[in-house]
Amino acid sequence: MFSTLCSEIFEASTVKYHETNDVDAPMPLIYPDQTIEYFLFKKNWIDAVQWHLEDIIRNPKIDPVEALTIKRRIDHSNQERTDLVELIDSYFWTKYQNILRLPEATINTESPAWAIDRLSILILKIYHMKQETERQEATSDHRLSCEKKLHILLKQKQDLSIAIDQLLDDIEHGKKWMKVYKQMKMYNDPTLNPVLYQKK
């Protein structure tokens, strides 16, 4: 099942990131470049770095200049994340482009890669929620509350994994078909964001 491959790679990436827990650490080259495994690992690595940038920027005592620098970095990361999701969708598009569609085939509300994107974030949530259940300096009520949340997240991971595999199976058998739209984010584009193009 493809979701199993995703989970294994996302979990490995999450653990690998936390070996240094450094937003500036270079991503290790675990898989051959330009393979789907490489793209999945990179996807979660980007998510892990951004997760911690989001933590850092919420420090109420952060220097405003540093906060702006991090905000710009998060913006860049979001664009990189979107580009990578679209690249992963291109992998599926190429794989299934010659599948004969059934007459009753329907379009899904999201593409496979955007569902996989949610799985990557979910695995990061599970990792960090598990940490909270083990944090000894926290209260027992806090740990218990996080334990309950962890059970929900694990169930959500199970459901999402099933849904991803069902979607891919439906596409492979012509029951659903892919129609990928680019995100076309406007605020990062200097030709589409009026604040940027009016500065020229």
**What pLDDT is recorded for position 198?**
75
Give residue 171's identity as a one-letter amino acid code: I
Q: What is the pLDDT of residues 94-123, one digit of tens each?
A: 999 999 999 999 999 899 999 999 999 999
pTM: 0.91
Residue 133 has pLDDT above 90, yes or no: yes
Sign for the pseudo-dihedral over CA of 183, 112, 86, 15: positive
**What pLDDT is recorded for position 200?**
59
| DSSP for residue 31 | S
Q: What is the pLDDT of residues 32-59, one digit of tens each?
A: 999 999 999 999 999 999 999 999 999 9
* Domain spans in the chain, listed from the N-terminal domain onward: 2-188
Round to whole Å and give the CA distance between 6 and 166. Answer: 15
Query: If we measure between CA atoms, which residue out of 114, 188, 154, 118 comes closest to residue 197?
Result: 188
Sign for the pseudo-dihedral over CA of 160, 165, 167, 170: negative
